[in-house]
Amino acid sequence: MINVKKMIACLVLLYVNTLLAMPAVCTRDGLTFDGLLGTYYDQNNNARAYFSGNTLERFDRQVNFNWGGGRPAIGFGTDNFSVIWEGRIAINQTGAYRFSTLSDDGVRLSVNGEIIIDNFTDHAPRRDTSRPINLRAGEFADVRMEFYERGGGAVAQLEWDGPRFIRQVIPASQLSYICRPPEPLPCEGGEPETNGLRGDYYNQEGVARDYFTGIVESRFDAQLNFNWGRGSPMSGFSRDDFSVTWEGEIEASEAGAHIFSTVSDDGIRVYLEGNLIIDNFTDHAPRRDTSSPINLQAGERYSIYVEFYERGGGAVAQLEWSGPSFSRRIIPSANLFTQCPRPEGPDHIEIIVSGNASTCMAKDVLIRACDDPLCHSLFIEYEGTVQLTTSTDNGDWLLNGAGDLVPGSAD
């Protein structure tokens, strides 16, 4: 009878939490919702392909879930799914707070950008608690919780204790999420470069070992830190028999010897300044390969080019480095750069006349083709036709250099 009561209680809790969740619809900038934004990933039912596959976004008033052997949402499996919750916590009293998670399986919790709980492992229901953190009344703390379910039961709960109250699930009244406008896609704002590397993904038409052929999809990747598991790298691609090239520049923050590493499954090659520094273009299980030490100058940029292919099974592609004063880590986006593609023609034509343009005297005219209204970026070798006019319609333009200058005509 006790087990039946527990089962009924779990089902009621699951039903209530699911009922209180609402689809995430940000209709305008600044709109605030109670609770946290939860992004649910089905991983295409692939084990350990965390935060990949089809997604569902909704607002969860609390993180207080015990799904047991059930599924978190319609269309999801009972195992092999992952979730990211993010938002902010209102602080009502100044003092020391401790955060706790009850999880089955892996969990990782960050507050104000600092990881304070990290138990990203398979385990039975377990409580993990952070060190005390001092927070001030009237302020908000940013929170992000990452969770995955591998198999068996599934539990995800976020708790805290603080000044004058004992441990409890963080109430909905303290949680909120503010809608923000979507970040512009890289290179859509007219900037000359963006952080990260350009990735060209080839589907090989499903043909084994036909690397860098077939339909190609391009995108900017902030880092090379991918563990697709048995999933595909993007929509429309197979989970096997695809290949990728990444290229751009890397900038060292300090001078000295740097060692580059890759974790890959399957083949990978890395070129720095055209020199092959890592070469393991073979089928293999996840494996780390390391370059010889390479001296880099602080503030200088070096071209980098990576080739990768996935033959079958799991797929992993990660690019790391270590330096004079730091241990091995994924190369940060801030150290990677890609030049944005330039448009085929100029967006603006700038015409500069020396002195007073209202004159009957001969004047030198400078014509520049530009990418932007302020002419910060020029088309140095642009060739085209520019038409000029005089205000009285009776002046003559004398051609001195390339271009067609037509009297009395306007662009």
Instruction: Give the residue with greater pLDDT, 208 vs 188.
Output: 208
Summarised one tens digit per residue, pLDDT across range 65-90 is 999 999 998 889 999 999 999 999 99
Query: pLDDT band at residue 288, thresholds of 50, 70 and 90?
Result: very high
DSSP 3-state of 283? coil
Query: pLDDT band at residue 10, thresholds of 50, 70 and 90?
Result: very low
202's enclosing H/E stretch is strand 197-202
Of 31, 213, 67, nearest in space to 150 by CA = 67
| Phi, psi angle pair for 39, to nearest 5° | -110, 115
- Residue 90 contacts residue 39 (beta carbons within 8 Å): no
For residue 48, what are the contacts with CB-CB under 8 A and spacing of at least 6? 80, 148, 150, 227, 229
Domains of the chain (ranges plus CATH)? 2-178 (2.60.120.1560), 193-339 (2.60.120.1560), 343-411 (no CATH)
Which range (96-100, 244-248, 310-314, 359-363) has the least confidence? Answer: 359-363
- Residue 339 contacts residue 346 (beta carbons within 8 Å): no
Compute CA 280 distance to the chain's CA centroid, rounded to the nearest angstrom. 27
Residue 253 DSSP class: S
Mean pLDDT of the chain: 82
Identify the pLDDT of residue 314.
Answer: 84
Summarised one tens digit per residue, pLDDT across range 225-267 is 888 877 778 877 888 899 999 999 999 999 999 999 999 999 9
Within a 13 Å sphere around the CA of 273, how many CA atoms are in the beta-carbon half?
7
308's enclosing H/E stretch is strand 301-310
Does this model's pTM top 0.85?
no
Structure tokens at 319: 């690019």
Identify the pLDDT of residue 130.
Answer: 97
b/e 206-238 (16+ beta carbons within 10 angstroms → b):
eeeeebeebeebeebbebbbbbbbbbbbeeebe
pLDDT (mean) for 378-388: 58
Instruction: Give the residue with greater pLDDT, 109 vs 57.
Output: 109
| Phi, psi angle pair for 172, to nearest 5° | -60, -30
129, amino acid identity = T
